[in-house]
A and B are shown apart, each in its own frame.
Chain A
Amino acid sequence: MAFGRPLLRTSYEEDAAILPTAFQKAGVGFLILSLCLMALDAPIFGAIPRYFLGNTWLVPVGITLCFAIGALGINILVGVTGQVSLGHAFFMGTGAYTAVMLGGNLGDQESWKACVPFHDNLGLLERQGECGLGLPIWIWLPAAGLVAALIGIIVSPAAVKVRGLYLAIVTVGLVFIGLHLGRMLPEWAGDFESGRRWPKLDIRLWKEETPLIEMSEDGKWFGLINLTEEQKQFFFLLAIVIVMTLLAKNLVRSRTGRALQAIRDRDVAAEVMGVPEFKYKRLGFAISSFYAGIAGALFASFTGRVSPIDFGLLLSVDFIAILLIGGAGTIAGTLLGTVFVELLPNVVERLTEWLADQISTGGVTGTIADFLLTTGAAGDFGPISIAPTAPGWPMSVFFWNLVIYGVLIVVFLIFEPLGLFGIWIKFRNYWKGWPFSY
């Protein structure tokens, strides 16, 4: 490949490559490297304030990695196949609860009867949220994806029949049915509000005491380096995300991916050209649900404690927001959107903490902080309360985060429908053509 002429392609293999240019290869390598270094808390990041980097970021970043898998799934359904679904949370929940049913711990085997669903004294169980088969991760993680995919296939006939906004509303219905199932089965789901514990992310061969690869305690890993629990899980999740991203990318550039895209662009035309509409829509649902199931299982296990409420409509909206803010139909845009949507609340929170510490220092930041924040003292004004003793104006950072999130969705849709990826394309084209404007 001719270096310096990135658009010159001399073979189809080059054109269809996962990372066609040297710049992209270097960029992705650099990104993964810096993520690893960040997770290891490498000394080169020492100059950045602790608010913005450090071990406390591992949990939000880990959750972001889990969500990235789910976002890749919704991208395949909405971005590539063009079927708008607000039911992704339901499939994530399916995966998460499959994982906990197979991998969760049952205290003793005698009381198994109490774990059988639909018995009489519903909701008043001693074994509430304790049931599970205690199987290892290499069974429950793929099973989570497969069961979710199966449910996706079961649902797909309804979804193929209706289209557009009607489909979006039908999938909203799925989410509410899922929430009801969560309320109905407390022996599996635990309390509806507070949820239950999930199996740890340890790799075992079977139910033995010492795991093959342990990821649930601080300490030496493989007898090599000292890592905390979160660091170990982070590397595990990162590996899975890379594998899933490669799979998604390969799907999009294969025959199947082209068929899915044909259906997105115009389903009738695709059918005329010999792409079976029903088959590929079903496939789109199945693959997207598979990703969602894996994401749900990992998310719940990484968080450790999840309740049915967490798989509500807001989670589905999160994924749609990720897609729209990142740029629908592109893998890079999906991942960018996930990072943006999932980490933004944390950034806002940390920024507020940092500002709160600047109030007393004076200067420009001190003035800004004084203007924005309310400490609760008399006569202090500002829209953000950092001491939320009671609800009411000024609002807490948590509420402001929701407002910012909602406004961002609106603003992105109005001003930049292609999302962050579109901004990147514009930026790139500007510099490619520089100093000419075309």
Chain B
Amino acid sequence: MPALDSVVIASGLSTFVQTLTKSIALGCIYAMLGLSFVLIFKGTQVLNFAAGAISMAGALFMSIMIADAGWPFLPWSNPFAPDGGRASIPLWILHLMFALILAALMGMIIERLAIRPMVGQPLFAMAVVTLGLEIAIRPFNLDASAGQARSIGVPWGNGTWTADWLDGAVIPKSYLAAIIAASIAFAAVYFFYRSRFGVAMRAVAFDQEAAMAQGINVGRVFSVAWALGAALAVLAAIFFAMTPWPPNGAVSLEIHPIWVFRVLPVIILGGLDSVVGAVYGGLIIASFEIFAGQYLSQWTSILGPGYSTIVPYLAMLGVLLVKPYGLFGTAEIRRV
């Protein structure tokens, strides 16, 4: 992962403001992805290691629809596609919706084929199934991207605002976009959890058999959990792709398959089964990563290039030593 230092540094205050907005934006992206992990884990007790492949596939759907003016898997052309690959904002959001729907479908198919038959197996066996899926889907992603970074046609591109009253701090528009997207996603999940179906989902997360005995369709809850999880992972991947550091507005095969693993510290910090934990975890881990990347950069020769990417893991190790189930996770009750 290349260093995240492409934003110009002007002075102490503007550096701080830029670092702060960067860490909040990255935190929101991490939180979206963390939420994807948490929803799937709460719903189906599966730690979804396939999130990398799923999110990259969804971002590629977006790229195929916008940049190639086609449909994924289908031979027809896309009549909604913008000319020249740069969409207006409503059109881009329309395509984002298409991509999220496709991702949700993909999540449901994966759940039905690979996860449903594993119900009742040990947690680790189910996690390894998703690792197998990650390995199996990744070649198709690499193949579809044809060895290049592919544009997702961000309408605001690399546009920035300059805040004069903050010592000329430069704030990219994509940060605000990520923050808005994360807010909408969290509001949606919040209200969804309070709906009738959301209550059913929480009941399943609490005890699958008891929920089934109450007449809840557990299979449908599984489907919806995976659909939501996959869509959130893709949402995070798309907003990660447009950040002003590499991959810089494109789906990148160097970065997208790997960056998902940087979110593991987020869900560990927040707790595997805590929605609120995903938010706090995302913001905390991202600020560790970005602030360390910014303010320790004079020691790069000792810490090594790209050291900021392992700061989350170090933070995770530290937290786990103190709180083995994260900040908000439910402790497992150990019995003989």
- Using a CB–CB distance below 8 Å, which chain A residues touch chain B? 84, 118-123, 157-158, 161-166, 168-170, 172-174, 176-177, 180-181, 183-185, 266-269, 272, 313-314, 317, 320-321, 324, 390-393, 395, 399-400, 402-403, 405-410, 413-414, 417
Contact = CB atoms under 8 A, between A and B. Distances in A.
Contacts of A413: 118, 121, 125, 128-129, 132
B320 A122 contact: no
Contact of A169 (B139, B268, B301): B268
**Range of interface residues on chain B?**
35 or more
A176 B302 CA distance: 18
B325 interface: yes
The residue in A123, A163, A170, A272 that gathers the most chain B C-beta atoms within 10 A of its C-beta is A170
Interface of B: 47, 114, 117-118, 121, 123-125, 127-129, 131-140, 142-147, 261, 264-265, 267-268, 272, 300-307, 309-310, 313-314, 316-317, 320-321, 324-326, 332, 334-336
A177 to B, nearest CB: 5
B202 to A, nearest CB: 20
A391 B143 contact: yes
A157 B317 CA distance: 11
B137 A158 contact: no
With a 10 A CB-CB cut-off, give which of A176, A183, A317 has the most chain B CB atoms. A176
A200 B122 CA distance: 43
Given A313-B261, A402-B138, A414-B114, A166 B268 contact: yes
A122 to B, nearest CB: 5
B182 to A, nearest CB: 23
22 contacts: A120-B301, A162-B324, A165-B124, A165-B127, A169-B47, A170-B268, A170-B316, A172-B261, A173-B265, A173-B313, A174-B313, A180-B306, A268-B336, A317-B135, A320-B128, A395-B139, A402-B139, A406-B135, A408-B132, A409-B129, A409-B131, A413-B128
A225 B94 CA distance: 72
B123 A165 contact: yes
A176 to B, nearest CB: 5
Given A180-B309, A406-B134, A163 B304 contact: no
A410 B336 contact: no
A383 to B, nearest CB: 11
Contact of A391 (B121, B142, B310, B314): B142
Given A173-B317, A417-B121, A168 B336 contact: no
Contact of B129 (A172, A180, A391, A414): A414
A176 B139 contact: no
A113 B335 CA distance: 56
Contacts of B324: 161-163, 166
Nearest to B313: A173
B320 A410 contact: no
B124 A168 contact: yes
Nearest to A122: B301
Nearest to B335: A268
Given A395-B143, A413-B129, 9 more contacts: A163-B324, A184-B304, A272-B336, A320-B131, A392-B143, A402-B139, A410-B114, A410-B133, A413-B128
B135 A399 contact: no
Contact of A84 (B124, B135, B147, B334): B124
B123 A409 contact: no
A148 B143 CA distance: 37
A409 B128 contact: yes
Of all A-B residue pairs in the complex, the 4 with the closest CB atoms, nearest first, are A406-B136, A409-B132, A184-B304, A406-B135
B136 A403 contact: yes
B83 to A, nearest CB: 25
Nearest to B50: A406
B302 A118 contact: yes
B328 to A, nearest CB: 14
A228 to B, nearest CB: 34
Contacts of B135: 314, 317, 402-403, 405-406, 409
A157 B322 CA distance: 12
A101 B209 CA distance: 55
A395 B139 CA distance: 9
B128 A176 contact: no
A414 B336 contact: no
B272 A166 contact: yes
Contacts of A173: 264-265, 313, 316-317
A399 B143 contact: yes
A183 B133 contact: no
A275 to B, nearest CB: 13
B306 A172 contact: no
A320 B325 CA distance: 24
B320 A162 contact: yes
| Best-buried of A169, A172, A321, A408 by chain B (most CB within 10 Å) | A169
B317 A170 contact: yes
A176 B304 CA distance: 13
A161 B118 contact: no
Given A406-B133, A413-B121, A324 B128 contact: yes
B146 A391 contact: yes
Contacts of B304: 122, 180-181, 183-185
B135 to A, nearest CB: 3
B181 to A, nearest CB: 26
A406 B132 contact: yes
A391 B272 CA distance: 38
Nearest to B124: A84
Contacts of B264: 169, 172-173
Contacts of B314: 177
Q: In this complex, which of A157, A170, A173, A185 has the most chain B Cβ atoms within 10 angstroms of its Cβ?
A: A173
A324 B129 CA distance: 10
Contacts of A183: 304-306
Given A320-B128, A413-B118, A166 B310 contact: no
A392 B142 CA distance: 8
A189 B165 CA distance: 48
Nearest to B110: A410
Contacts of B129: 409-410, 413-414
A406 B143 CA distance: 16
Contacts of A168: 47, 124, 127
